[in-house]
Structure 1
Amino acid sequence: MFKFLKTLAALAAMLIPLALAGQAAATPTRFTVEVRGKGPDVVLIPGLASSRAVWDDTAKRLEGRYRLHIIQVNGFAGQTPGPNASGPVVAPLIEEIDAYIRDQKLDHPAVIGHSMGGYSALALAAAHPGDVGKVMVVDALPFFSVLFGPGVTVAQVEPQATAFKAQMLAMSKAQFDAGQPQVMARLAKTPAAQALAAQWAIASDRQVMAQATYDIMTSDLRPQLAAITVPVTVVYARDPVMGEGRVDALYKENYAALPGVKLQAIDGGFHFIMLDQPDAFAAAVEAFLK
């Protein structure tokens, strides 16, 4: 019997490492990650139809002191769509980012997200507060569609979101490409930033872009804000052409239910704040990470 038990112990010693190897971290399928630098972990999530290159200036400033996990959403900016080519994009993306944080054993990383990435970071904090240290939302609202009217609901905006998705998919490539410089002129202030953002959008997969837009238009995080326990900083663009008081009021009202939220306006830029005002944005990031 003793020999038998010794044999079982030896067998277990052989099999347990094999079993653990079978539980190795899964490779993300909805995004890729570029890891740079050393130090506390920071996850950076770009926005709709954007490249991870939107974080280039931020990464250069931080990589000497932080380990950066710079996400590229599949299907955006020339990347192969993978599973994002069918069905919802944003909700599965958020879950896979959380799986990445857990699989890589990141210790309560700071998460910074722009636009759709900002919404994703906020949703991550709401759904998985134990996996996130703190969140910076960059120029994003908990419900995008309030821009259509302060009292709008998901049910009311769903037909519009469906129609917008269909319209985007029905455009010819020539029509879509020609319209992007005009779109980006409203989202970035400097000509260089406009050209870069337009280039990323033109290179994006149209199906992924249209579905992600639909997802964001029909997703309302406001009912979950009061339960979020993770510290959240919201940085938003403010410029005279937007109506500065109106922008301040919009963010104050829509984040009112979030306990302890820090709201910070950055003047002189549009939606792509990090491209329009890199120094001011970098200062905001440094203050957030302290």
Structure 2
Amino acid sequence: MRMVIFILFVVLIASLGSQSANAAPTLPTLHQLSRISVQSIGEGKPVVLIPGLATPRDVWSGIVPELAKRHRVLLVQVNGFGSPAAEVNRRPGTLDGIVEELAAYLSAEKLRGSAVIGHSMGGLIGTMLATRHPEAVGRLMVVDALPFYGALMGPGATPDSVRPIAEQMRAMLVNGPAPTQAPPGMSSSEAGRAKVLSWLKESDAATVGEAMVEDATTDVSANLPKLAAKPITILYAVPSPERAELVKALYGKAYAGLPTARLVPVADSAHFIMLDQPAVFAAEVKRFLP
């Protein structure tokens, strides 16, 4: 009888182990911090996804289900972007504060060498994180972001020369009427532009304005050679064949301090590559991750 009970016990344990092995990915958990919130889903090597200006974590919805099958996916969202506003993000020091809060969160979770993917302003945040906290970032993907957005204003642009223009844009955003259409160049499809517009409307204007000014006037070009993350992939949008060489030259010059980085043009896409070319984007993410 004892032998029968023992055999049944072993079978039960094996059955439970099998059920556990085939279980669905863990349910998402949400960590609310003062400047950001982080939603965690799945198990495995960590992947941190950082969205851009006035953009919620939903922008990554096309890749999260697949990633969560084999990774712990950490979806960052800036408080005030598609979520209730945070007074602290309306004041100067927002980008620095976000970088430090994210670094502290990763440290508290004992996550080192994460794969970090950032779009637009999120790409700048990812680069700043990798520079200041190299232990936190093992590999880095920047999606349609420059180390200094002022470069779009001309070769002689500096943070100081760009600031008055950025402040004018902030004033228009905060004091002007509510937007009725997405800013130019955001998405090549009507559905994509509608999403971007809805996200902008749901965001706190003061938070967006402060982050926009800081994004436009932050230049991390000099820090690029210090990046220890490997590999580094830079995806950039090419909206039309006529502009391909111009955009290639712009990104090549901007990332000259990262000669080992892989620069990847994405054809027929506006700024939100994940919306305009989801299959290409998913394939590049898969290639980038371990």
TM-score for both structures, normalised by structure 2: 0.86
Instruction: After TM superposition, give the deviation of residue 166 of structure 1 in Å.
Output: 2.1
The residue type equivalent to 1:71 in the other structure is: V
Task: Summarize the Cα distance change of 1:115–1:96 in structure 2 as closer, same or farther, 3 Å threshold.
Answer: same
Q: 1:170, 1:241 → 2: CA distance?
A: 37
TM-score for both structures, normalised by structure 1: 0.86
3-state SS of paired residue (2:48) = strand
Q: 1:67, 1:288 → 2: CA distance?
A: 16
Q: Give the equivalent residue in structure 2 for 1:90.
A: 95
Instruction: After TM superposition, give the deviation of residue 248 of structure 1 in Å.
Output: 0.7
Q: Give the equivalent residue in structure 1 for 2:130.
A: 125
3-state SS of paired residue (2:135) = helix
Instruction: After TM superposition, give the deviation of residue 29 of structure 1 in Å.
Output: 1.1
Q: Give the equivalent residue in structure 2 for 1:192.
A: 191
Q: 1:202, 1:260 → 2: CA distance?
A: 39
1:286 and 2:289 aligned: no
Instruction: After TM superposition, give the deviation of residue 169 of structure 1 in Å.
Output: 1.7
1:28 and 2:33 aligned: yes
Task: Summarize the Cα distance change of 1:242–1:207 in structure 2 as closer, same or farther, 3 Å threshold.
Answer: farther
Task: Summarize the Cα distance change of 1:36–1:82 in structure 2 as closer, same or farther, 3 Å threshold.
Answer: farther
Task: For 1:43-82, list aligned pairs within 5 A.
Answer: 43-82=48-87
Q: 2:173, 2:112 → 1: CA distance?
A: 40
Q: 1:51, 1:30 → 2: CA distance?
A: 13
Q: Deviations over 1:1-53 (max 9, x none)?
A: xxxxxxxxxxxxxxxxxxxxxxxxx9621111111111110000000000100
Deviates more, 1:26-35 or 1:41-50: 26-35
1:209 and 2:205 aligned: no
Q: 1:194, 1:223 → 2: CA distance?
A: 34
Task: For 1:1-290, list aligned pairs within 5 A.
Answer: 28-171=33-176, 175-178=177-180, 181-183=181-183, 185-231=184-230, 232-240=232-240, 243-290=243-290
Q: Deviations over 1:88-140 (max 9, x none)?
A: 32111111111111111113110000000011001111111122111100000
Q: Aligned-residue CA RMSD in angstroms?
A: 1.5
Unaligned runs of 5+ in 1: 1-25
Q: Percent identity?
A: 37
Instruction: After TM superposition, give the deviation of residue 149 of structure 1 in Å.
Output: 0.6
More helix by share: 1
Aligned length: 259
